[in-house]
Structure 1
Amino acid sequence: MSVGILTLVVLALALIGYVLARRRAVAAADGDARNLHSRTGYYGQLVFLFTSVPALLVMLVWLFLQPIIIENAVSSQIPDTAIPESGELSLVMSDVRRIAGGIDRLMQAEGINEDQLEIMTAEGGDMRARLGAVGVALGGEVHGDVFTAAKAYRQSQQTGTMAMSVVVIVLAAGFLAVSLSRIHKDLRARNISEAFVLTLLIGASLVAILTTIGIVLSLLFETYNFFQLYPWQDYFLSTTWNPQFTGGSDLGFIPLVWGTLYVSLVALIVSVPIGLMIAIYLAEYAGKKTRSIAKPAIEVLAGIPTIVYGLFALITIGPFIRDWIAQPTGLGDSSSSVLTAGLVMGIMLIPFVSSLSDDIINAVPQSLRDGSYGLGATQSETVKQVILPAALPGVVGAILLAASRAIGETMIVVMGAGAAAKMSLNPLEAMTTVTVKIVSQLTGDTEFASPETLVAFALGLTLFLFTLCLNVLALIIVRKYREQYE
């Protein structure tokens, strides 16, 4: 039974429980709902929650643990002779997963049964050709034991899914029966139901916290493994980035940080003045009709996918800067440059600055404006000397938020700035950023335990610390300079 169907079955049981609980509550009160402690809806809600929530939580935990348990069990069955000379078991397991996923498609396409599959599994070459016919591509030599492991993997998945379905349905039905049996007219259904909902809300809040902790711990552990294989002095002090998966790599992060900060600086130089001026105009000068049209139109920029901005940088802005600025001045000859990525990223960040700044300026009390006008100040003087100083903490926070967004951008940099890790002050040269190299180091079938792959986690931790510092700085500025208004 698929996860979607299983979820629908659990919800159907919960809805049945909701209806039955309401009827049972009314029957327990001799047909008069006024004799009940709570409204009938709370009795139905109580049974609905107890029927669905525990079963769905068990299903989520099962879905999380089952792949880990199956992979550990199957990987232990793979003999050393089936592991390539690189010693990477993960590459073998990747083939196992692909084969297991293609077996069902193969059986459906060729109309074979389990016995015929058993015969085909012994014929590795024939099996590989048949899998290729249904779109399962396997790289390199595949040992016959790998096909056997894939079959065991598939069988374990089917068994685990079936067991999960049985456990979840039995659990839902059991809680449905128990919760229905406990309904009586004096049951404090509302109190129990609201306590249950409160627990769910607390659990939902903890998800974000636990996710953050998990991300940080994974980065820390893998970064520690990286520094066990590569000297930390070379990572922090070297100005050369030259990963070589065959050995002899130089993994200094300074050029990547320089490119990240340089591109982000250009983007902020473009977005901050334009975004701030747009916010001032919309908040203080534009009429209601103009504002109702202009503000949504500007915010559309925030909804455009970054890949579209990247294509815009690659096809339009890059060639324009190369033909009209870089080549005539002799400062560059490539369409990929810091200026290209920075300009396009700055356009993307305009709505972040303008929208947040607009809301902050509108939050300044009207009494401050009236007081300034009463003292004889003009509108421009009021904006400059009263409104902007009052809104400054929030505006700074908006700018730092845009900076964090710029530091984490990838697609625009890949297509606009290139992938060259270098340190230069020339904005017309190609450079790259931390995020681009994180993607490139983790792309492809590479040995995960090598420094060239683990360095991606060190770069991720570095990027995380940069954005964390920016967020903390924004929080400090807002708290220190925020003014309280009645």
Structure 2
Amino acid sequence: MPATWILLIVLALSAVGYVMARNKALQSAGGNRRALHSLPSYYGGNAAMAAAAPALFILMGWMILQPIAIDTFVSSNLPAEIRAVPGERSLAMADVRRIADGLDAAVSQGALTMDQSRIIESTETDVRALLGTVGVALGSEVDAATLALAQTYRAATDTGNMWRAVVILLVAFLSFAVAYRMTNKDFRARPFVERAILLLLIAAASVAILTTIGIVFSLIFNTVDFFSRYHAADFFFSTTWEPSFSGRGGDSQLGFLPLIWGTLFISCIALIVAVPLGLFSAIYLSEYASNPVRSIAKPLLEVLAGIPTIVYGLFALLTVGPLLMDVFGRDGVLGVTWMSGGTAAITAGLVMGIMLIPFVSSLSDDIINAVPQALRDGSFGLGATKSETLRQVVLPAALPGIVGAILLAASRAIGETMIVVMGAGAAAALSMNPFEAMTTVTAKIVSQLTGDGEFNSPETLVAFALGITLFVITLGLNVIALWIVRRYREQYE
């Protein structure tokens, strides 16, 4: 039974349980709500949560653990020489899963019956016919050994899905039955429901923490694997980035320095654009703009924050790049060849800066507005003008928060990908010329993981080393920003 059907059945049982438990509680009180310990909705909610929560928790865990268990079981039947090499084992299991999917496709299209798809040991003629049919469905040849493993994988998956449906539905019905039996007018339903809701809230809050921990550990394990295959000194201190995948020949040179230089260089250009414009717009909106102007200008400015980054990338590729070429190119207005192509560091930096303007502006506007009006009034009372009050009172008081906003914008710029991929080019270069093509860490992570490569070579595992290095840099910027805000924040009453 598909997981979607199980989910729908559990939710339907939960809804029915809510109505039944609520009605039972009212009947036990003779229809008098005041005779109930808790409100009727708590009795229904208790039965509904009892039917749904344990079943859904088991469903989620089952969907995570079943593929792992089946992969482990099936891979134990692989030849020893393949099991000994993680990369070869991964490739072999990918073929097994692909053929298992091909069997399902052949059955769904009517090319095979269910019984024919389960042939593992039969006459040579039957096996050859099945190999040919599956090969046609997949568009490639299939050997008998891999087909047998795929059939084992498919059979184990079907068995696991069957037991998943039985166990989850049984748990849902039993949990509902227990909750329904407990329902009566003297049952303290409200404490049960509130404790259950508290546990759900704790579980929801734990998802983000556990996800972060999972991401960090996955990066760490794959990074350790990378450094076991490639020298750390060559990665951190080499100035050459030339990955060489199998089939191209040569050894890979995976130097980190040109990538981090391009990342920081493009981010600096973006901040040079975003910080003045964002800060000036925040000052205008918070100190000078009238309420009607602010009510229109602020939402329009923040519309920029809702534009997908791929749109900014297209804007850089199709508009900003050609425009810069018209000015700084060979046949440009200035008549000097500064740019040889539209993809350059300045192209990505300018567009990224435009993207960061609402980020800086919104945070700075909130910080400036948090400065008490009493400070402004005191400055005006001493004879200061509005601009003097802004320079000497408001901005110094808001400076820690503004610096924190700028550092947060910098971490956002460092992690940007699509604008760089489409606007900056793909050249890993150590250059101070903003009109040359450059690339960043995030762009190379994308390029190294694009395609069908397995995680069994330094050329693919390097993406994890790049990722954890970038993670440490952005984490450091965020920590510094929070430290500045907390250390120098002014407390007002």
Once the 2 structures are TM-superposed, how far is the Cα of residue 446 of structure 1 from its aligned partner? 2.4
Distance 2:347 2:167 in 1: 56
Distance 2:429 2:412 in 1: 22
Which of residues 302, 306, 318 is equivalent to 2:305?
A: 302
Alignment-derived partner of residue 259 in structure 1? 262
Alignment-derived partner of residue 157 in structure 1? 157
Alignment-derived partner of residue 291 in structure 2? 288
Once the 2 structures are TM-superposed, how far is the Cα of residue 152 of structure 1 from its aligned partner? 2.7
- The equivalences for 1:413-432 within 5 A come to 413-432=420-439
- The equivalences for 1:302-451 within 5 A come to 302-327=305-330, 328-451=335-458
The answer to whether the Cα contact below 8 Å between 1:78 and 1:145 also exists between their aligned partners in 2 is: no
Q: For residues 270-301 of structure 1, give each alpha carbon's deviation from its aligned partner in whole angstroms, at most 9, with x where no partner exists.
A: 11111111111111222222222221111111
Q: For residues 184-204 of structure 1, give each alpha carbon's deviation from its aligned partner in whole angstroms, at most 9, with x where no partner exists.
A: 333221112111111111111
Distance 1:121 1:61 in 2: 39
- The equivalences for 1:142-181 within 5 A come to 142-181=142-181
Alignment-derived partner of residue 206 in structure 1? 206
Distance 2:461 2:19 in 1: 54
Distance 2:151 2:294 in 1: 63
The answer to whether the Cα contact below 8 Å between 1:369 and 1:382 also exists between their aligned partners in 2 is: yes
Which of residues 231, 248, 253 is equivalent to 1:250?
A: 253
Alignment-derived partner of residue 123 in structure 2? none
* Distance verdict in 2 for CA 1:121–1:343, change over 3 Å: farther
Once the 2 structures are TM-superposed, how far is the Cα of residue 87 of structure 1 from its aligned partner? 6.2
Alignment-derived partner of residue 58 in structure 2? 58
The answer to whether the Cα contact below 8 Å between 1:78 and 1:146 also exists between their aligned partners in 2 is: no
Once the 2 structures are TM-superposed, how far is the Cα of residue 369 of structure 1 from its aligned partner? 2.0
Distance 2:329 2:231 in 1: 39
Shifted more, 29-38 versus 403-412: the winner is: 29-38
The residue matched to 1:349 in structure 2 has which SS?
helix
1:11 matched to 2:11:
yes
Number of equivalences? 478
Distance 1:335 1:11 in 2: 55
Distance 1:349 1:77 in 2: 53
Q: For residues 21-64 of structure 1, give each alpha carbon's deviation from its aligned partner in whole angstroms, at most 9, with x where no partner exists.
A: 11222233333221222111111111111211111000000000
Alignment-derived partner of residue 135 in structure 1? none
* Distance verdict in 2 for CA 1:120–1:305, change over 3 Å: farther
Distance 2:158 2:283 in 1: 61
Once the 2 structures are TM-superposed, how far is the Cα of residue 143 of structure 1 from its aligned partner? 2.9
- The equivalences for 1:77-92 within 5 A come to 77-79=77-79, 88-92=88-92
Once the 2 structures are TM-superposed, how far is the Cα of residue 337 of structure 1 from its aligned partner? 0.7
Distance 2:167 2:86 in 1: 41
1:127 matched to 2:130:
no
Alignment-derived partner of residue 122 in structure 2? none
Once the 2 structures are TM-superposed, how far is the Cα of residue 172 of structure 1 from its aligned partner? 0.7
Counting aligned pairs with the same residue, the percent is 59
* Distance verdict in 2 for CA 1:40–1:349, change over 3 Å: same
Once the 2 structures are TM-superposed, how far is the Cα of residue 110 of structure 1 from its aligned partner? 3.1
The answer to whether the Cα contact below 8 Å between 1:313 and 1:416 also exists between their aligned partners in 2 is: yes
Distance 1:27 1:66 in 2: 43
* Distance verdict in 2 for CA 1:225–1:279, change over 3 Å: same
Q: For residues 96-124 of structure 1, give each alpha carbon's deviation from its aligned partner in whole angstroms, at most 9, with x where no partner exists.
A: 32333343333232353123434477543
The residue matched to 1:38 in structure 2 has which SS?
coil
Alignment-derived partner of residue 472 in structure 1? 479
The residue matched to 2:302 in structure 1 has which SS?
helix
The answer to whether the Cα contact below 8 Å between 1:102 and 1:131 also exists between their aligned partners in 2 is: yes
The answer to whether the Cα contact below 8 Å between 2:50 and 2:176 also exists between their aligned partners in 1 is: yes
Once the 2 structures are TM-superposed, how far is the Cα of residue 414 of structure 1 from its aligned partner? 0.8
1:101 matched to 2:101:
yes
Give the TM-score of the pair, scaled to structure 1. 0.93
Alignment-derived partner of residue 190 in structure 2? 190
Code of the residue aligned with 2:269 in structure 1: it is V
Unmatched 5+ stretches in structure 2: 120-125
Alignment-derived partner of residue 223 in structure 2? 223
